[in-house]
Amino acid sequence: MKRVRVIPVLGINKGRLVKTVKFDRPAYIGDPLMAIKIFNDKEVDELIICDIRASRESRDPDYNMLQDMASECFMPIGYFGGIRKLEQARKIFDLGIEKVGLSSAFCENPQLVSELAGNYGSQSVVVVLDFNKGIFGGQQLTAFSGTKKFKRTPSEAARMAEDAGAGEIVVQNISYEGTFKGYDIDLVHAVASAVRIPVVALGGASGISDFSKAIKAGASAVAASSQFVYNKNDTRSILISYPSQEQLKKELYASL
Amino acid sequence: MSIVILDYGLGNLASIKNMLRKAGAQSIISADPAIIAGAAKLILPGVGHFEAGMENIRNSGWLDLVNQKVLVDKIPVLGICLGMQLMAGHSEEGDVSGLGWFDARIVKFRQEEIGSLKVPHMGWNEITLKQSHPLFPDIHEEQRFYFVHSYHWVCNTEADQLAVTNYGYDFTSVVAKDNIVGMQFHPEKSHRFGLAVMQRFVQWGQE
């Protein structure tokens, strides 16, 4: 049986748990610490905590909140958001969080990825690639919550991340985020086939059948947000959920 | 008398301390020989490169003391991930000698034998116990743990092998000899399965 990681992503903005659609209109979901306790009880494979506006607003990571979260979490945790310097990453690792994700910093200064990998090992550095439609068609790499564009195709950006020393890539199409229309499978395939490192699909998943499609397109793991915080994918009803081991075995692992 | 998590500059030590607290035990993260001398139990953590790990340990100032506590005084010691691998005699990673507490070697995953599987082996996997042990009393229990590694243990002495895990092929994922246990996965990041192992480590030798 092949196991793949299924990773809930929690969006944080100024200490509140939020959920966006296409990176826009952050809706208040609840208390992040409470959500993390529930995800811990549900024995999730791994967790990603993402401060969605930290880079855009040049804010430091909220170390106090992250420390409270890390002491409630007995699974691997990745933190994304606002990391521009080695020193910030070191503080995060010292809290008991083992991965940091770089998006804006990778686009502007890929050398930071190399420095982090050199000091803490590749497994501690995730590069987050957010794509959006370019003005002339095709996919364009973006950063700072989608507000800044870079001239890189998906396969170019993926190879750059791998060459810089990233241990993993998280890839998403911003126009799919929060829509429940499934992952951008072509994008997942383009990135996964360009590199040897594990690729994690994010953005748009509505359920286990989407996970299966992403893995078949070459992803090593899947991540999602909306479906784990909304009840039956209804954005009017908040419910923290996660599939049981039995469900994952029967509906996901068995399909691979 | 307490549990000391050995600090040699590599690895995620806070998460081990968090899990021990959850398991009901106080611990100290330290590289200070005066504190290590008073330890009732030791944890050798570690994430990263084998050669860098050995170099840091040699420069730590506590190696002779820890050898004494582990090999002569025989206090319980637990090696996690790179900390487990460092207990072997030799590693391909840097082609260097390890602590030599076990007759074993560390090798890279053989890509030609694992096919399309990616290295590092990253994610949750199961262990199959070959023998029972105070830390793993029920050899039939289904347990899963979180792994992240590119190199793995090969036993030269089969009696040391406590459990194997399959990733393309079976590799040694838990080893034990007398007062020493090593595990390739991260019990501190493995929910109730890791918590149970840590609780048993806390209780080990105290019945």
Residue A195 in contact with partner chain B when CB distance is under 8 A: no
Mean pLDDT rounded to a whole number for chain A: 94
User: What's the pLDDT at B207?
Assistant: 62
User: pLDDT tens digits, residue range A96-126?
Assistant: 999 999 999 999 999 999 999 988 889 999 9
Helix (H) or strand (E) holding A202: strand A199-202
- Name the residue in chain A with its Cα closest to that of B148: A123
User: Is residue A163 over pLDDT 80?
Assistant: yes
User: What's the pLDDT at B12?
Assistant: 80
The Cα-based distances of A117 to A58, A109, B78, B195 in angstroms read: 23, 14, 26, 29
Q: Which residues of A touch B194 (CB under 8 A)?
A: 74
Region of poorest pLDDT, from A46-55, A133-142, A188-197, B196-205: A133-142
Q: How far apart are the first and last CA of chain A?
A: 9
User: What's the pLDDT at B1?
Assistant: 60
Which is catalytic among the residues A41, A62, A94, A130?
A130
User: What's the pLDDT at B119?
Assistant: 87
Which residue blocks in chain B are alpha helix, DSSP H? 13-22, 33-37, 50-58, 63-67, 82-85, 111-114, 191-203
Q: Go through B19-45 and write b for each residue having 16 or more CB atoms within 10 A of its CB, e for each that does not.
A: bbebbebebeebbeeeebeebebbbbb
How high is the mean pLDDT in each 10-residue block of chain B (207 residues)? 90 92 96 96 92 94 97 98 97 96 97 91 96 96 95 97 98 98 98 98 88
CA dihedral (B190, A225, A117, B8) positive or negative:
negative
Which residue of B189, B190, B193, B199 to mutate against A (max A Cβ within 10 Å)? B189
Which residue of A39, A66, A74 to mutate against B (max B Cβ within 10 Å)? A74
The Cα-based distances of A133 to A29, A217, A219 in angstroms read: 28, 20, 21
Give me the helix-helix angle, A154-164 and A111-120, nearest 10°.
40
User: What's the pLDDT at A120?
Assistant: 87
- Report d(CA A145, CA A138) in Å as an integer: 19
- Report d(CA A139, CA A133) in Å as an integer: 5
Give me the helix-helix angle, A86-94 and A63-70, nearest 10°.
30
Residue B125 in contact with partner chain A when CB distance is under 8 A: yes
Nearest to A73 by CA among A149, A134, A115, A10: A10
- Report d(CA A10, CA A177) in Å as an integer: 13
